[in-house]
Chains A and B, each alone.
Chain A
Amino acid sequence: MDHFQPAPEASANPAVSVGASLRQAREAAGLSLGDVADRLKLSLRQLEAIECDDFEALPGAAFVRGFVRNYARFLELDDAPLMAMLDTRFPSSLSSEPDLGTATDAATDTAPVVPARRGFALAGLAGGLILLLGVGWWWSQRPVEPESEAPQGLQPMLTEQAASPIVAESAASVSGPAVGTDAASVASVPKTAPVLSAPVPASAPAAASTNAGEALELNLKASAWVSVTDADGKKLVFATLPAGTQRSLAGKPPFKVVIGNAPNVELRYKGQPVDLAARTRGTTAKLELN
């Protein structure tokens, strides 16, 4: 439609602008602008603006549509075609409201927006779930490792103790390399094997002399968190011990030991030093002693 069509010489065809058709109808009814202004309570300036299609002079879309509708009704014109002509420039408040956000009842407007947001949300949620599952898996895996390590780590001690007379004998009688291969074959953990195998001959009598109950000895070079639980679930220690603490613990094996700040703690079990470094993650050592 052409809003600035100059003269209304054309007859009342649909191409005629809103203002021109209103003017035609008014003139056909023999009414002056003053009559209309009197009836609609609009100012002459506003009526002239309507008839000249100068809608910018009117307060806003809702008012343009309201005034034009009232005018048409007064002239007993059908307002539907006029409203349709205004739709492009002054959209109805029923369809959309550009200055008040996107979520209007024009479903076509919002259709592309909503799925996009949904998509983001779903992707985010899926990512979150995967992350959660990953963390959960990691946590579930974490405690398993010391357990799987424990048999490996503790097996040598057991076998060592069981095998210690043999080892001692073999060390005494058989040549040196035999001990190395024997220890390596029995204990698949090379780190602990030398530590354990070396003092065995010396500490074997000491282990025999120590009280079976007084099995654990702690020596702290710096303050550390220590938790020792015996087979009955009794907590022998469950505290942060200050630096320089020396403590002997008696209880029923096996012991579950957790030591924070492990590099600064010496642990002896049945008189034998336990290599904490092999079972330390970060600074925390977790182990089970039989």
Chain B
Amino acid sequence: MFRSLTGYFSNDLAIDLGTANTLIYMRGKGIVLDEPSVVAIHHDSPTNKKSILAVGIEAKKMLGRTPGSIQAIRPMKDGVIADFTVTEQMLKQFIKKVSPSRFFTASPSIVICVPCGSTQVERRAIKDSALAAGARRVELIEEPMAAAIGAGLPVEEPTGSMVVDIGGGTTEVGVISLGGVVYSNSVRVGGDKFDEAIINYIRRNYGMLIGETTAEEIKKTIGSAFPGAEVREMEVKGRNLAEGIPRSFTVSSNEILEALTEPLNQIVSAVKIALEQTPPELGADIADKGMVLTGGGALLKDIDRLLAEETGLPVFVAEGPLTCVVRGSGKALDKLGKIGTIFTNVP
């Protein structure tokens, strides 16, 4: 009874703790935070004390531009916590940011997404981080499930739905029926791997070094996953490795397509494996309905076309792919405390 009473005063949250971005959804308010998962830490050398300097957007601006005493780090790597204490601090800061400053606030219930490929240890770490950040209760939800709910798929019906969530660090493929995940698979390929592939391609073929931010811009501007009719070009500035001097050069969309082939193939094979492993009845449903793409990676041009051609199934991108997971988790908040299989258990 007391729990339900405090529930009225707390603002229950759903958190998509992503490799690239952290999104927070507040019950009744919608998405209240969307910031990069970056923390800037200040080292005080005489006392050897560490303190948080900035989180989110401010900290991202510092990435790669910090003096020795400041460290800007991304505590999440490949969809899991790489640095436990920093993640905890980041969560704390974000939760504080979105919680209205009131005289009397109860700690919130939190739903957090985890990649389906994460181990029990990694899940435990995420759960403990959230509890340490002041949560009253923490439930974990697998990302494909959250993405499917967010995309508006009929997850609770006895029909198979397939969702492919291409995030910053991981790509999650899930087949969902009757409110449960029938099959799920996670490959550690995502937006970051696309950027990396572009950097490597340009270094190899142009002898130029570009940064992650530039690579991301190239991907967003001319990147595509399927050869299109028109070839687009973009002027890029980087450091010539041989001369050591910044130079400008032009890359075309076909070159970027070539650069992205390898990570895209990994996603395609993950999808194909998922289809192979899906029970035939659900496979028939998927053949009829196709698969839904969510996550930032779904914004890559023609990635739906690539998957459609490779699998021969209808593929479409969900509306608001970037926020699908957090919106789905937010909707799952209402299911808290009810019997259901949409949440995953941590022993």
Instruction: Check B28 against A40 for contact (C-beta < 8 Å).
Output: no
Q: Which of A3-11, A64-72, A236-244, A254-262 contacts B (4 or more CB under 8 A)?
A: A64-72
Instruction: Check B314 against A62 for contact (C-beta < 8 Å).
Output: no
Q: Which of A17-25, A116-124, A167-175, A274-282 contacts B (4 or more CB under 8 A)?
A: A116-124
Q: Which of B54-62, B67-75, B135-143, B286-294 contacts A (4 or more CB under 8 A)?
A: B286-294
| Cα-based distance from A97 to B317 in the complex (angstroms) | 18
Residues of B within 8 A of A70 (CB): 304, 314, 316
| Cα-based distance from A104 to B153 in the complex (angstroms) | 15
B118 in contact (CB, < 8 A): no
B52 in contact (CB, < 8 A): no
Known A-B contacts A60-B153, A107-B28; the reply to A121 vs B9 at CB < 8 A is yes
Instruction: Check B5 against A103 for contact (C-beta < 8 Å).
Output: no
Known A-B contacts A40-B308, A103-B334, A125-B5; the reply to A62 vs B156 at CB < 8 A is no
Instruction: Check A93 against B151 for contact (C-beta < 8 Å).
Output: yes
In the complex, the chain B residue whose C-beta lies closest to that of A117 is B8
Residues of A within 8 A of B151 (CB): 62, 93
Instruction: Check A105 against B31 for contact (C-beta < 8 Å).
Output: yes
B320 in contact (CB, < 8 A): yes
Instruction: Check B292 against A66 for contact (C-beta < 8 Å).
Output: yes
Q: Is the interface on chain A under 10, 10 to 19, 20 to 34, or 35 or more residues?
A: 35 or more
Q: Which of B38-46, B235-243, B325-333 contacts A (4 or more CB under 8 A)?
A: B325-333
A42 in contact (CB, < 8 A): yes
Instruction: Check A94 against B320 for contact (C-beta < 8 Å).
Output: yes
Residues of B within 8 A of A63 (CB): 289-290, 316
Instruction: Check A62 against B333 for contact (C-beta < 8 Å).
Output: no
Known A-B contacts A60-B154, A62-B152, A70-B304; the reply to A40 vs B319 at CB < 8 A is no
Instruction: Check A101 against B335 for contact (C-beta < 8 Å).
Output: yes
A143 in contact (CB, < 8 A): no
Residues of A within 8 A of B9 (CB): 121
In the complex, which residues 325-347 of chain B have their Cβ closer than 8 Å to any Cβ of chain A?
Answer: 327, 330-331, 333-335
Residues of B within 8 A of A114 (CB): 28
Instruction: Check B152 against A42 for contact (C-beta < 8 Å).
Output: no
Residues of B within 8 A of A92 (CB): 152, 319
Known A-B contacts A66-B292, A125-B5; the reply to A107 vs B335 at CB < 8 A is no
Instruction: Check B330 against A66 for contact (C-beta < 8 Å).
Output: no
Tell me which of A62, A92, A97, A110 has the highest count of chain B C-beta atoms within 10 A of its own C-beta: A62
Tell me which of A69, A94, A124 has the highest count of chain B C-beta atoms within 10 A of its own C-beta: A94
Residues of A within 8 A of B316 (CB): 63, 66-67, 69-70
| Cα-based distance from A9 to B309 in the complex (angstroms) | 35
Instruction: Check B28 against A62 for contact (C-beta < 8 Å).
Output: no
A100 in contact (CB, < 8 A): yes
| Cα-based distance from A282 to B169 in the complex (angstroms) | 73
Instruction: Check A93 against B327 for contact (C-beta < 8 Å).
Output: yes
Bitwise, A39-74 to B at CB < 8 A (1) or not (0) is 011110010000000000001111101110110000
Identify the B interface with A (CB < 8 A).
5, 8-9, 25, 27-31, 149-154, 156, 159, 288-290, 292, 304, 308, 311-320, 323-324, 327, 330-331, 333-335
12 residue pairs from A and B, CB less than 8 Å apart: A59-B289, A62-B153, A62-B154, A62-B318, A63-B289, A69-B316, A70-B314, A94-B320, A94-B327, A97-B149, A104-B330, A107-B28
Q: What 8 A-B pairs are tightest by C-beta distance, nearest first? A: A93-B152, A105-B30, A66-B316, A101-B334, A62-B152, A121-B8, A100-B331, A59-B289
